[in-house]
Amino acid sequence: MGSGNDNPFLSPQPLELRGKPISIRYGHGNSAVSESFRLCHGPVTKIANTTRMMPGEIQLDAVGHTFPSGTRALQNVTLSLDSLRFTALIGRSGAGKSTLLRILNGLVRPSEGAVWVRGVNLAAADHATVRVWRRQVGMVFQQFGLVRRLSGLENVLLGRLGYLSPWRTTLRLYPRADREFAMALLERVGLADQAWQRADTLSGGQQQRVAIARALAQRPRLILADEPVSALDPQSAEQVMDLLRAIHLEDNIAVVANLHSLDTVRAYADRVIALQGGRLLFDGPPDVLTDDVTRELYYADEPASLLRR
Ligand SMILES: Nc1ncnc2c1ncn2[C@@H]1O[C@H](COP(=O)(O)OP(=O)(O)OP(=O)(O)O)[C@@H](O)[C@H]1O
Ligand SMILES: [Mg+2]
């Protein structure tokens, strides 16, 4: 490497990677190891869950959540998720969308109700059980959530951490199959050429595609995207939404995306879940999301003068 940079994944690589041997150094100092492999293509990048997530596999039953501060973020939310429909989550700021996503991936334990995942209630499950679920849930955030100083490839590999043994986790020693898989995922999202580039030098759209590749590295059953395109220009936003939709269709992965633009919702979603003040206001296809519902959703309690604008 010789650049004074000790990140083993930041070595410069030829731009055309297809079919050529790739060499990677990993580990640090005296324990650093080099190896070569050829980039795998095709089916290896597909997660291809053999079974679709059917309605009922994830079921929220009268879920409510009050934060220790006393803020009641969710009330009596009952719904079921599946991988049959690309699901959009909408609602005003503070409606409880992010809290709902955090409850779905087990980050937040709801203070009321049950979150059933394949017959297990996450709200009452032990930490080990929640951990096993969490590694099957890929998260995508508005601000990407990448480790800025690591390369795109190493960020994708972070998606494998939940599957490593403790000693491999400590040393971040990823099995060869994981490294090949991560590289192939970067190829799938169109970023193989940027694999060794530091994450903070990538454009916003590229960073979000790395984040999606990282989510895919988890081999997820469910991807939760919290405002995935809010920080992106329209063209990058379209690329990211197209990618999420393709993943949903090709890999049988359930996707729930919290979106602010109703145009994006109408262009991509098959199902819309709308929250208002922590309660479920609407759950149905976007074509029956009438003006009355959107007015109620976004402008209820606003002064009448705002409504007339
Ligand atoms: N950790 C927390 N502690 C206390 N209150 C919280 C916490 N997280 C969220 N809240 C509150 O819970 C409510 C719902 O927040 P949440 O972040 O889920 O809303 P949101 O719909 O995602 O909003 P936005 O569109 O602005 O992201 C808000 O009133 C918020 O202030
Ligand atoms: Mg939010």
Q: Which atom of ligand 1 is the closest one to the Cα of 96?
A: 18
Q: Give the predicted TM-score (pTM) of the model.
A: 0.83
- Tens of pLDDT along the chain (309 residues) come to 333 334 333 333 333 444 555 454 444 455 444 545 444 443 345 555 656 777 778 999 999 999 999 999 999 999 999 888 999 999 999 999 999 999 999 999 999 999 999 888 999 999 999 999 999 999 999 999 999 999 999 999 999 988 888 787 777 788 899 999 999 999 999 999 999 999 999 999 999 999 999 999 999 999 999 999 999 999 999 999 999 999 999 988 999 999 999 999 999 999 999 999 999 999 999 988 888 888 888 887 754 444 333
Q: Closest ligand 1 atom to the C-alpha of 260?
A: 25
Distance CA 60, CA 96 (A): 14
| Cα 92 to middle of ligand 2, angstroms | 9
Residue type, 232: L
Q: What is the Cα–Cα distance from 243 to 53, expressed in whole angstroms? A: 19
CATH number of 58-136+220-308: 3.40.50.300
Mutate to test the pocket of ligand 1, among 97, 101, 102 (most ligand atoms within 8 A of CB): 97
Determine contact, residues 74/100, Cβ cutoff 8 Å: yes
Ligand 1 nearest-atom number relative to CA 278? 14
**Secondary structure string (H, E, C) spanning 167-226:** HHHHHCCCCHHHHHHHHHHHHHCCCHHHCCCEHHHCCHHHHHHHHHHHHHHCCCCEEEEE
Report which of 192, 99, 112, 95 is spatially closest to residue 153, judged by C-alpha positions: 192
3-class secondary structure, 238: helix
Q: Please give the distance, rounded to the nearest whole angstrom, from the Cα atom of residue 90 to the centre of ligand 1.
A: 14
154 closest CA partner among 200, 121, 112: 200
- Closest CA relative to residue 92, chosen from 284, 225, 258: 258
